[in-house]
Amino acid sequence: MSTAEHDTATEEAPAEVTNRKQPFPRGFLDTISEGWAERPESLPTPRAQAPFAAARRATVSEAFPGKRLVIPAGSLKQRSNDTDYPFRAHSAFAHLTGWASDAEPDSMLVFEPTDAGHDVTLYFRERADRTTSEFYSDATIGEFWIGPRPSLAGVAADLGVATAHLEEFAASDEDVTLDADEDLTRFVSELRLVKDEYEIAELRHAVEVTARGFDDIVRALPDAVAHSRGERVVEGVFHRRAREDGNGEGYDTISASGPHACYLHWTRNDGAVVPGDLILVDAGVEADSLYTADITRTLPVTGTFTEVQRRVYETVREAADAAFAAARPGVKFRAVHEAAMEVIAARTAEWGLLPVTAEEALDADHGGQHRRYMVHGTSHHLGIDVHDCAQARREMYYDGVLEAGMVFTIEPGLYFQIDDLTVPEEYRGIGVRIEDDILMTEDGPVNLSADIPRTADEVEAWIARLQG
């Protein structure tokens, strides 16, 4: 039964049927609150992220003395009529509470200023007593419809933070509210630039599950070829892994076969998977903690690269390896992109695709001709958002310095559109991207996704092994 099929009523509902909303009979109303067993509650021990979230709250408190801060979780968003998208709390709220895939809509984390800093309270809608009409009549929040909601005491013990019923929350004209205050928005975004021990472990886990999802994709390639919308076969097998072993995908999967691989954010995934083509898959599992992987592999559909496909693929890998080699503590974040661009410019010039030399193409003011074939950046921070820390200042992000604890992608590519007359016909319709998730340590970068085959030879062997 979908939520579009429920009966809705209160004691005051009219006797006649109004549209599809029908009243409950008197007997139901007289007895629905009776006959329920007690629900004893044993309080949980604090979850693993609770002390890390407490440390983050302390940092925020120190940065905003004397100010009342309000961090909302966000509300359900309508998909159509009376159906909503699955709820996903605001990243800053999840980061500061430790409440992740199980967070309640409309919750508020409030920092009340005190002489010693702040008292922090998490306000949310506590479970409804079964004597209330909300229990059975409200399909959005009623427990008869959506299952048990958490209790104030249970969440307080679980997250290690004071809790109160949402009805007790009172907004103030003096509130500093996330997304309404530039300083707070920037601060909580920059707070995530360097990951703590818990976050790094969760990202490792997300990558491990994503690797299993890519194995599933390789095994499913013959089924994808056999289906008229094979791209959705690929998307579907990854979705199953993401839901079985994680919270879901961290972003819409890109399953782009043949010329579709040249569309950077191809998520329609309604095309055929054709033997002889490449399929570019950009996918990441989001863990229950909401930390997500972000990995791309480009696979030859029938298991073997053609000569031209291999040339393009190995150039992209060369660019990725150059970017990885450039990444070191103390190096500007943008240096990673610049290293990849040197390879892309050199090879596209070598192939005769540029109207200028590679050196001229790399000129900051008058160059960029090679960017026709790779218009996106090489790296972005990764964490509780797939494009994490997006509200950080430029001087902290693109112009910032790499530090131990940062996690970011390296993802160069080459994309030759099917109708691009500036490239020989043999290149047209080929799109390649290789994307890995990188942890910076004191000793240098670590490729968290290195176990997912990367070289052309490794990819061919991978497909042969898994398809038997």
Ranges of each domain in the chain: 3-190, 197-467
pLDDT at 7 over 70: no
What does the chain come to in residues? Answer: 468
Instruction: Give the per-residue pLDDT at 10.
Output: 41
Higher pLDDT, 452 or 138: 452
Query: What is the spatial distance between Cα 23 and Cα 17, in angstroms, rounded to a whole number?
Result: 7
Q: Which of 374, 388, 385 is nearest to 433 (CA)?
A: 374
Cα dihedral 262, 264, 268, 273, rounded to 10, equals 40
User: What is the band of 452 on the pLDDT scale with cuts at 50, 70, 90?
Assistant: very high
Average pLDDT over residues 229-235: 98
pLDDT at 281 over 70: yes
Q: What is the DSSP letter of 392?
A: S
H/E stretch holding 318 reads helix 307-326
Average pLDDT over residues 128-157: 91
In this predicted model, what pLDDT tens digit does every residue of 144-180 receive, in sequence order? 899 989 999 999 999 999 999 999 999 999 999 998 9
pLDDT digits (tens, 9 = 90+) for 41-66: 899 999 999 999 999 999 999 999 99
DSSP letter string, 127-166: PPPTTSTHHHH-TTT-HHHH-PPPPHHHHHHHHTSEEEEG
State the pLDDT at residue 127.
87
**Architecture in CATH of 3-190:** 3-Layer(aba) Sandwich (3.40)
The architecture in CATH of the region 197-467 reads Alpha-Beta Complex (3.90)
Is 20 in a helix, a strand, or coil?
Answer: coil
How far apart, in Å, are the Cα atoms of 454 and each of 245, 257, 316, 446, 460? 23, 18, 10, 15, 10
Residue 41 confidence (pLDDT): 86
Q: How confident is the model at residue 20 (pLDDT cuts 50, 70, 90)?
A: low
- pTM value is 0.94
pLDDT, mean of residues 377-395: 98
Asked if residue 82 lies in contact with residue 3, where contact means CB atoms within 8 angstroms, the answer is yes
Contacts of 420 (CB under 8 A, 6+ apart): 372, 428
Q: Which residues pair with 55 in a beta bridge?
A: none
Confidence at residue 19, expressed as pLDDT on a 0 to 100 scale: 64
Read off the pLDDT of each residue in 242-258 and give the average, rounded to a whole number: 98
CA distance 316 to 434: 7
